[in-house]
Amino acid sequence: MADLTVKIHNLELKNPVLTASGTFGYGREYDDFIDVNDLGGIIVKATTSKHREGNPYPRMAETPMGMLNAVGLQNKGIEYFVREIYPKLTEYNTNIIANVSDSTIEGYVNVARKMNKLDHIAAIELNISCPNVKEGGMAFGTSCPSAMAVTRAVREVYDKTLIVKLSPNVTSITDIALAVEEAGADSISLINTLLGMAIDSEKRKPVLSTITGGLSGPAIKPIALRMVWQVSKVVKVPVIGIGGIASASDAIEFLLAGASAVQIGTSNFIDPAITIKIIAGIEEYLIKHRIAKVKELTGALIT
């Protein structure tokens, strides 16, 4: 038996496989297919300060080996989360990580402060890809000063593991990574979706109600892998790799590139049991290559 445990700051994971926010609901959606407790942890869908209805339908466009989404952070807000959703999450015996989003710094802080009081929320992941209303709609995660400002403000009210999730829609991913590390991030996860667009030529109309949306799935894997590699070379905090992972070998590629753990997103839609298969595949790889601990793979790329 190989040792699959990894540590992300104070967070002990029984294996390096997590689920990506917005693709795994609150876990329950997958109970029929897998034992969610077998995962390293789950990152539940985004919670914002206030209830959000999200964007109008259509919110999805299929693209070659991927999809665009424009869900728009639909959720019932932090108060509802604490009251109705959290009690059910405490029944799981694995790490529950909350994804925190908002359009103002005060909003992020409000959600983070409330999450801080919930014992079974092991960590939060700050989604800084949301548009900053005060800065004219530009995402927090696309400029160093705003990424730093939101990370710093949340750091002040949040004591447990703080993961900051980066947007790939930037010129220099390493600059943003260094900025949030300096502002107090305990870990960095990347990537969120890439801004894209789909058009129905017959109707001469955009497919999504919002015209543009976020691209995910195997189509984005090469970009995600490159960004994980670049970021993990410059930061000291552990990196969590996300983007198009659909198999154990995909996950191992991210570990080799420098990630300590990975998140599985869109692939859950195609195979709701994929996460368990990936965990088994990582273990097989370790045994085959006579590697005792999965930790040894992190950054073990031979260049």
Active-site residues: which are they?
130
- Provide the 8-state DSSP code for 28: G
Task: Identify which of residues 56 and 131 has a Cβ nearer to another protein in the complex.
Answer: 56
Q: Alpha-carbon distance 102 to 73, whole Å?
A: 9
Q: Which residues of 138-165 are buried (b: 16+ CB within 10 A; e: fewer)?
A: ebbbbbbebbbbbbbbbbeebebbbbbb
The nearer residue to another protein, 58 or 299, going by C-beta atoms, is 58
Give residue number: closest CB to ligand FMN. Answer: 22
* Residue tagged 């108060």 (tokens): 79
How far is residue 153's CA from residue 69's CA, in Å, rounded to a whole number?
Answer: 29
Shortest gap between Cβ of 47 and another protein (angstroms)? 13
Q: Is the dihedral of CA 216, 219, 220, 225 positive or negative?
A: positive
Under rule CB under 8 A, residue 232 binds another protein: no
Q: Which does 99 bind (CB under 5 to 8 A by kind): another protein, ligand FMN, none?
A: ligand FMN
Q: Residue 298 Cβ, how far from another protein at the closest point, in Å?
A: 29
**What binding mask, one character per residue, do residues 169-208 give for another protein by CB under 8 A, x or -?**
----------------------------------------
Is the Cβ–Cβ distance between 112 and 157 less than 8 Å? yes
Q: Which does 106 bind (CB under 5 to 8 A by kind): another protein, ligand FMN, none?
A: none
- Contact criterion met (CB below 8 Å) for 126 and 187: no
d(CA 45, CA 23): 7
Binding site residues, ligand FMN, CB under 6 A: 20-23, 45-46, 69, 71, 73, 99, 101, 127, 165, 192-193, 216-217, 220, 242-245, 264-267
Query: Using the rule CB under 8 A, which residue among 16, 40, 41, 66 binds another protein?
Result: 66
Select from 2, 4, 30, 180 the one that contacts another protein (CB under 8 A): 30
